[in-house]
Chains A and B, each alone.
Chain A
Amino acid sequence: MRRHWVWMLAIGIAACGKNADAGGSVAKAPSHSGDVWETDKVNDRKEAPATVLAFVNGLHTVVLDGSDVYAGTTRYNTSADTGGGRVVALSNGLSARIVAAGDAMELRFSSGESVPLRKQTRRGK
């Protein structure tokens, strides 16, 4: 029993270490699993600053697949936060939370900007 707990602890520490790897790692987006989400309200000038920040960090169009976020050819391992959202650790101390907002999602940056995400409805996806 004690050995079991030691293994659980070791796995937990390893997982935390992975999540702390800000900036993500190189990966191909999955072909089928997960869903593609993209920034909403693209014509809205009020949303433009948050959309620019999402674009620069590759989060303007992403595949959300379990705890992984695929932005371009970068994969981020997210961690769960207490509010039920997923936290993406970006480079240089910036992070973003992806939280459910009704049927949609919202991308909230640690610097204060936020923008809605909508599920991509492209045919065949």
Chain B
Amino acid sequence: MRMGHIRFAPATMVAAAALLIATSLPAQNETFDSTAVAAAYFKLSGDSLDLEAVAQRSPAVQRATNFDKPDVLKAEVERLRAVLANADPSREFVISVHDNITEYDHDHGEFSIALFQPGYFVPLEAFGQRFQLVFQNAERVRAIPMDKESAREFDAKLRTIYRSVLNEIHFKVTGQGDPAGAVTGPRVVRAEVTSVRLLDRQGRVVFTPSVTASPTLKNVAATDFDPAKADIAGFRVGVSAADFAATLERLFGPVTKGPAGRNVFPGIAGVVSMNGDGCFSYYGRRNNPHPGAVCVTGYVDASGTVRSIRVERLFAPVESEVFRKALTQKYGPVADARGGSRMSLGWGPTIDSALVYDRSGPRTALTAHYTVDSDLMSEGLNEADDVRLILTLVDAAWAAKSKE
């Protein structure tokens, strides 16, 4: 993750080789109340805050003598508790961020506001902790659409200010996590832009985006996601194992059927699989897979109904952003996201860990994973690795009933 500290200079966009790297643009208005934002976040998200640990690090406790420390600590904990209790999620905040406007995109007929592109966030500090502020409706305010003639004039104006603007954002805190799945890690504050203005160095308005425009990302709550109605690459849970197997045979090729292995979720009785472990490479294997390889596995209950599915496919090198965009277009706001050397996104309700494909990823009914496919032999070669995309879907309602 990269920190970009800029002051009226173009924000640097990291051209990530494969994974989208989250990029931060710090707040500039000194009066901005990041503690109130963080307090609203804790109130809405249910995320816990260790009040005693935060109080221990506070200046009041640090300054106190050993004699007074217990009383000061107690008072500080009470003060923090009151701050959290009095947090107002309906409060509107105003933050100013040094930002920039991209070059004109001739294909889409628009400029973009850097901060509102996927993967950007505003870093905040409160309670001695770092927070990442993201905007759930960023896509709705990202674009500055313009025809080419108007764009030429606007571009000339932007060049005189080095494309730098002060982005004045009015927003409300709405919860936790980046619905676009591009900013990951702890304490991601989700907010909704209510209005926004772009100003130049003299405070003159450069552009005022319309908050209601640009409907690219459907603005629905993550809890609206229903795994029973969803599909992954066309495959759905709740179908009979016979139909599932016949479909696999017709689309891809031979299917193997067998009993479930050990350590599977208690309700799973059998497995229907096409191409098994044929979607990842390992050292010493004669026929490691190539782009286009597809693997599908279905986990079946005692009644012969498919309750969990995993679909994998190998691709020529492609950026994770392409996958993320296709997924959020299809499934809507992300419920959970994990970054790092690979990307994992999740939708729907939380499921039992025994049903989770990758325990370092989201524990949700639907997950999507982006990872590179390489073996020891290919690691020394100067070429991009193929990419393995994995989708998993679990019948969450059945799983919850099975545990009862």
Contacts and interface: CB of A to CB of B under 8 A. Distances in A.
Interface string B12-25: 00000000000000
A62 B234 CA distance: 9
Nearest to B306: A73
Contacts, number: 121
B199 to A, nearest CB: 33
Contacts of B234: 24, 57-59, 62, 70-74
The residue among A23, A24, A30, A49 with the most chain B CB atoms within 10 A of its own CB is A49
Contact of A52 (B236, B246, B294, B318): B318
Contact of B250 (A23, A63, A92): A63
A49 B313 CA distance: 13
Contact of A94 (B232, B233, B330): B330
Contact of A49 (B239, B294, B318, B327): B318
A20 interface: no
A48 B235 contact: no
A61 B290 contact: no
Given A42-B291, A51-B315, A52-B389, A92 B330 contact: yes
Nearest to B253: A122
A3 B291 CA distance: 56
Contact of A56 (B243, B317, B327, B332): B327
Interface string A33-56: 000100100111101110111011
A72 B184 CA distance: 31
Interface residues of A, number: 41
A118 to B, nearest CB: 11
B120 interface: no
A67 interface: no
A74 B246 contact: no
A60 interface: yes
A42 B389 CA distance: 14
A82 to B, nearest CB: 24
A121 interface: no
Contacts of B243: 28, 73
Interface residues of B, number: 39
B375 interface: no
A24 B253 CA distance: 23
A42 B247 contact: no
Interface in B301-342: 311, 313, 315-318, 322-323, 326-327, 329-330, 332
A52 B326 contact: yes
A90 B236 CA distance: 15
Interface string A92-114: 11100000000000000001000
Contact of A36 (B232, B250, B316): B250
Interface in B237-251: 238-239, 243-244, 246-247, 250-251
Given A30-B250, A43-B316, A91-B330, A52 B231 contact: no
The residue among B218, B290, B311, B313 with the most chain A CB atoms within 10 A of its own CB is B313
A24 B236 CA distance: 11
Interface string B246-266: 110011110000000000000
Nearest to B327: A56
The residue among B238, B244, B291, B327 with the most chain A CB atoms within 10 A of its own CB is B291
B247 to A, nearest CB: 4
B250 A58 contact: no
B292 interface: yes
21 contacts: A26-B236, A26-B239, A28-B246, A29-B250, A29-B251, A39-B292, A43-B290, A45-B316, A48-B317, A55-B233, A55-B313, A55-B315, A56-B326, A58-B232, A61-B294, A71-B234, A72-B235, A73-B243, A74-B234, A90-B330, A92-B332
Given A45-B316, A61-B294, 15 more contacts: A39-B292, A42-B290, A42-B291, A43-B292, A45-B317, A52-B389, A55-B313, A57-B326, A63-B250, A72-B247, A72-B251, A72-B311, A73-B236, A122-B253, A125-B250
Please provide the 10 A-B residue pairs with the shortest distance between their CB atoms, ordered closest to farther.
A58-B234, A72-B234, A42-B292, A71-B234, A48-B318, A28-B243, A72-B235, A29-B247, A56-B326, A29-B250
